[in-house]
Amino acid sequence: MKRLKAILSSGCVGSLLLILLGCQDETQVVAEPPRPVRTEIAKASSVGEEVAQTGEIQANTETNLGFRIGGRVATRTVEVGMSVTKGQLLATLDPHDAENEVLSAEAEVKSAEATEGLARSELERQRALFMKDFVARARVDEAEANWRAANARLNVAKTGLKTARNRLTYTELRAPDDATVSAVTVNPGQVVDAGQPAVKLASTHERDAVFNVSERIYTRVPSDVQVEVALVSDPSIRVIGSIRDASPTADPATRTYRVRIALPNAPDAMTLGATVTGRLIQPGVPLFALPASALTSQDGKPAVFVVEPTSHVLIRKSVVVARYTAAQVLIESGLNEGEAVVTAGVSKLRPGQKIAYKAAEAVK
């Protein structure tokens, strides 16, 4: 009996040892081996950027023309899109009131001429009598004063006649230079005020290419840059131009800046309103060019994994991306020269993870 108890007791002890050993195997933690990764050494290089923007051809000078006096529009001889020459009649006002003013001014001049002639004759007669001592000096002075007053009234009348004749010419609206009609805002029978816009002309002498550019391009492109402007319909027709002027403020709706490119000797094919493409090479700035597969994110912002050189532990660093290409990401800041950047499998990595890698050559 004692021997049986000893056998049973030894069996229980063995089973208990087996259970303990099994638990020990389940709780044992296996250390994760370093994960192999592919890296590239970050090296900044000057990278130029070709900028292309779509715009349109506009006249350098656009003028709103209006009548210099008010009145009723009698005729309008132009339509939008017509080409006009210097001095060509564009529109007229009813001239009757202005003609009546001219007639009244002419009558005033004739009356003043008669009065001045009578005063001059009286002055000559008084001077002749004074030379013979028939009248006193006071009579001569009085006659001279009357003549001066009559002469002044004659000059005023002549000035009034000139003004009336000018007002008559103001009933005609003529082109100040060769141009194209870009807008018409009056019709026959309409009553207009002095200076009210009637016809808008776009000068054909100088043409500009007008572009609306983003703030990034506006702030980085130098003012003396040369821009190649080509027609969208025929890219072989192109002109090299320079910046004429740029808007100092952004458009409140689009937040873009208007830039005008002067086009010297622009070909006739670049008509007003034609769509063009402007191209320029933006000056290079130091950027880190990395494969697009190296990019990850941190708190919703772009980031990359770099390898700590002594401990071979991953560090996630936020970066500022300048722009993207089809296969690369160009990083403006956030990296240091010579850092080893992980370029593949970044979605399966985590900060602090130990990795195994071979020293990579710098990105060229």
Q: What is the pLDDT of residues 145-193, one digit of tens each?
A: 999 999 999 999 999 999 999 999 999 999 999 899 999 999 999 999 9
Q: Cα(93)–Cα(317) distance, rounded to whole angstroms?
A: 74
* CATH 2.40.420.20 boundaries in the chain: 35-48+286-356
- Is 270 buried (19+), middle (13-18) or exposed (0-12) by CB count in 10 A? buried
More confident residue, 263 or 349: 263
Select 51-60+204-282's CATH number: 3.30.200.210, 3.30.70.360, 3.30.310.160, 2.40.30.170.
2.40.30.170
More confident residue, 54 or 364: 54
* CATH 2.40.30.170 boundaries in the chain: 51-60+204-282
Assigned CATH class of 95-170: mainly alpha
Select 66-93+172-203's CATH number: 3.40.50.300, 2.40.50.100, 2.40.128.20, 1.20.140.10.
2.40.50.100
The average confidence (pLDDT) of the chain is 85
Asked which of 31-40, 88-97, 119-128, 215-224 is least confident by mean pLDDT, the reply is: 31-40
Q: What is the pLDDT of residues 122-145, one digit of tens each?
A: 999 999 998 988 889 999 999 999
88: number of Cβ within 10 Å: 15
Q: Are the C-beta atoms of residues 198 and 214 closer than 8 Å to each other?
A: no
* CATH 2.40.50.100 boundaries in the chain: 66-93+172-203
Kindly tell me if the per-residue pLDDT of 34 is higher than 80: no
353 band by pLDDT with thresholds 50, 70 and 90 = confident
Kindly tell me if the per-residue pLDDT of 358 is higher than 70: no
Q: Cα(74)–Cα(171) distance, rounded to whole angstroms?
A: 9
What percent of the chain is predicted at pLDDT more than 70? 87
What percent of the chain is predicted at pLDDT more than 90? 53
Q: What is the pLDDT of residues 215-241, one digit of tens each?
A: 888 887 888 888 999 999 999 999 999
More confident residue, 269 or 23: 269
**143: which 2 tokens?**
């006659």
Kindly tell me if the per-residue pLDDT of 16 is higher than 70: no
Q: Cα(302)–Cα(318) distance, rounded to whole angstroms?
A: 6
User: Three-state DSSP class for 304?
Assistant: strand
Kindly tell me if the per-residue pLDDT of 98 is higher than 80: yes
Can you list the alpha helix ranges (DSSP code H) found in the chain?
2-27, 96-131, 137-169, 215-220
CATH of domain 35-48+286-356: 2.40.420.20
Average pLDDT for residues 104-109, to the nearest whole number? 96
**30: which 2 tokens?**
């296996």
Q: What is the pLDDT, as a whole number, of residue 352? A: 86
For residue 329, what are the contacts with CB-CB under 8 A and spacing of at least 6? 289, 290, 291, 292, 294, 295, 302, 321
Average pLDDT for residues 311-316, to the nearest whole number? 88
CA distances from 188 to 99, 159, 168, 169, 182 (A): 19, 32, 18, 18, 18
